[in-house]
Structure 1
Amino acid sequence: MKQARPELLNVPIIQYFSLKKDPFSDNLKASELCDLPSIREVATTVEMVSQNHYHFAFTGPTGSGKSTILRYVCDRQERLGDKVVMLNGGNWGFGEFLRQVMEPLGIDYKAYHPSTMIRLIQQQMMKSAEDGKKVLIAIDEADKLRNDVFFQLHLLACMPDRGEALASLLLSGQDGLADKLVNPLATPLKSRMYPGHYIAPINRQMYRNYVQHHMKLCGLRDDCIDDLALEHIWKATSGNLRSIGMTFRIALQYAANHEMHKIDAACAKAAFA
């Protein structure tokens, strides 16, 4: 016998606050992202890097917005005409990494030797170049890749017999990524790396702009949160984007559950209690 669905214990906040969409969502379109300086800086650099076939890496702590920035930049480069191969890094050796690159390039995988996989990938990238498309290989969570990947990545990005650059590499990850790039065995890759960028927490003014942007995006009125609550959330999250969004959603949920139509200091404190 089918069991009856239990009643919700939490009041749906979209209906309660008459919102247009989920507040502080992680799944925004590139056009909906808040215009933060870090996004502009990385996007400007990646455009230059792609034009000149350099490589670039940016790092930052968990929740700083690295994956969001990477998604935005890749979307932008595709609209500029690049062929973008985007991967989520894992605990892979070089052979598995090559297999992951082959799939989005439309190359059928067989148990090839790594040298054969490199040749097939390079041939596909050369076809893109002939079509007028630069290739950008973007790797999120690149810090998870094993050291042997960084020692051999340069082999993938250029033709050894001609020395011609075939692709730009865009790497994103936590601080461990920088450690792997400074390893002496990664020198061939690092020699073509443009100086990296660190995604720092946002400051107080950017925090206000970020909150107002997301409130407007989801349809939350400006008078739905008081200044003291904003201050409490700022102090509790220290400018970390993921923490800001999570804390606001919990504060909204607390207000809805307690039939409050405004987020006050009590809601904010409950969100990070």
Structure 2
Amino acid sequence: MKQARPELINVPLMQYFSLKREPFSDNIKATELCELPSVKEISSIVEMVCMNHCHFAFTGPTGSGKSTILRYVCDRQERLGSRVLMINGGDWGFGEFLRQVMERLSIDYRSYHPSTMIRLIQVQMAKSEEDGHPVLLALDEADKLRNEVFHQLHLIVSAPEKGASLASILVCGQDALADKLTNPMAMPLRSRMYPGYYIPSINRQVYRTYVQHHMRLCGLRDDCIEDLALEHIWKATSGNLRSIGMTFRFALQYAANHDFGKIDAACAKAAFSDWWDTSGMVDAFAELQEPDHAG
């Protein structure tokens, strides 16, 4: 017998705060992204790199907005006329990487002959440029790719007869990406790259701008968040974008569940309380285990 659907334990945020959409969502349109200083700088560099058939890499810590920025600049380059091939990196060798590129180019080739695969990719890239749509090969989470990919990546965009690359390559990932690009075997690729960019944490002023931007997107009123709560969240998240969004969502949920009507300092503290810290439970357990000498 089918059981009835259980009632929600948490109060629905959308209805409680009369929101237009999910607050501080990661799933927003590229055109709705808050244009932080790093977004503007990377967009400018990528545009220049594509115009000059060069390559570019940017890195940053977990939660710094790398994938979101990559999505933004790729959307922008598509609107400028580029043909963007977006690939999420994995633990792949060069052969599997070539298959991923061929799939994005709609090339049907099932055998494993790297030289032939490279040539087919080059033909499609050249044709796309002739049609007025130069290719931008964008690699997210590129730090996961094996070193052999970076040793040979330049081959798929090389065109000695033209004297220029067939496409621009844009890679982003965590700090391990820098180690792979500085490997001596990756020199053919790195020698064609614009100097890399590291995404810094945002400062307090940019944090306020970022929060206000997301509040406008979801329709959250300014009086729904107390200034002291904003300050608590800023200190707890250290300017990490992912942490800021998650903490705000948890704080909003805490406020809704307790019918506070707004995020105050207590909601903010409850949102980032460290539930990984089990020291209190450990101490309590140790006390229970101590022998009772009273008798």
* TM value normalised by structure 2: 0.91
- Supply the distance in 2 between the matched residues of 1:123 and 1:164 (Cα, whole angstroms): 14
The answer to whether structure 1 residue 194 and structure 2 residue 224 are counterparts is no
**What 5-or-longer segments of structure 2 have no aligned partner?**
274-295
What is the CA-CA distance between 1:223 and the residue it aligns to? 0.4
Identical-residue share of aligned pairs (%): 77
What is the CA-CA distance between 1:133 and the residue it aligns to? 1.4
- Supply the distance in 1 between the matched residues of 2:263 and 2:165 (Cα, whole angstroms): 54
Where do 1:147-226 residues align within 5 Å?
147-226=147-226
- Supply the distance in 2 between the matched residues of 1:35 and 1:148 (Cα, whole angstroms): 35
SS in 1 for 2:104: coil
- Supply the distance in 2 between the matched residues of 1:35 and 1:43 (Cα, whole angstroms): 10
CA deviation digits over 1:200-219, x for unaligned, max 9? Answer: 11100000000011011100
Tell me what 2:278 maps to: none
CA deviation digits over 1:194-239, x for unaligned, max 9? Answer: 0000011110000000001101110000000101100000000000
Tell me what 1:258 maps to: 258
**Structure 1 residue runs of 4+, over 6 Å off?**
none
SS in 2 for 1:103: helix
- Supply the distance in 2 between the matched residues of 1:209 and 1:97 (Cα, whole angstroms): 39
Q: Contact 2:125/2:167 (CA < 8 Å) preserved in 1? A: yes
Amino acid at match of 2:178: A
The answer to whether structure 1 residue 99 and structure 2 residue 122 are counterparts is no
Query: Once structures 1 and 2 are overlaid, which stretch shifts more, 50-59 or 26-35?
Result: 26-35
Q: Contact 2:85/2:136 (CA < 8 Å) preserved in 1? A: yes
What is the CA-CA distance between 1:161 and the residue it aligns to? 4.7
Tell me what 2:239 maps to: 239
Q: What is the total number of aligned residue pairs between the two structures?
A: 273
- Supply the distance in 2 between the matched residues of 1:133 and 1:227 (Cα, whole angstroms): 48
CA deviation digits over 1:87-108, x for unaligned, max 9? Answer: 1000000000000001111101
What is the CA-CA distance between 1:129 and the residue it aligns to? 1.2
- Supply the distance in 2 between the matched residues of 1:160 and 1:111 (Cα, whole angstroms): 26
- Supply the distance in 2 between the matched residues of 1:147 and 1:35 (Cα, whole angstroms): 33
* TM value normalised by structure 1: 0.99
Q: Contact 2:20/2:219 (CA < 8 Å) preserved in 1? A: yes
Query: Once structures 1 and 2 are overlaid, which stretch shifts more, 109-118 or 62-71?
Result: 109-118
What is the CA-CA distance between 1:164 and the residue it aligns to? 3.2
Tell me what 1:227 maps to: 227
CA deviation digits over 1:24-63, x for unaligned, max 9? Answer: 1111111211110100000000000000000000000000
- Supply the distance in 1 between the matched residues of 2:71 and 2:253 (Cα, whole angstroms): 28
Q: Contact 2:95/2:112 (CA < 8 Å) preserved in 1? A: no
SS in 2 for 1:77: helix
SS in 2 for 1:91: coil
Q: Bigger radius of gyration, 1 or 2?
A: 2
Tell me what 1:41 maps to: 41
Tell me what 1:269 maps to: 269
CA deviation digits over 1:161-194, x for unaligned, max 9? Answer: 5543101000000000000000000000000000
Amino acid at match of 2:139: I
The CA RMSD measured in Å over matched residues stands at: 0.8
Q: Contact 2:86/2:137 (CA < 8 Å) preserved in 1? A: yes
Amino acid at match of 1:132: G
Amino acid at match of 2:124: Q
Q: Contact 1:103/1:109 (CA < 8 Å) preserved in 2? A: no
Q: Contact 2:150/2:180 (CA < 8 Å) preserved in 1? A: yes
What is the CA-CA distance between 1:132 and the residue it aligns to? 1.4
Tell me what 1:122 maps to: 122
Q: Contact 1:236/1:272 (CA < 8 Å) preserved in 2? A: yes
Tell me what 1:7 maps to: 7
CA deviation digits over 1:111-139, x for unaligned, max 9? Answer: 23111110000000011011011110000
Q: Contact 2:16/2:256 (CA < 8 Å) preserved in 1? A: yes
What is the CA-CA distance between 1:259 and the residue it aligns to? 0.7
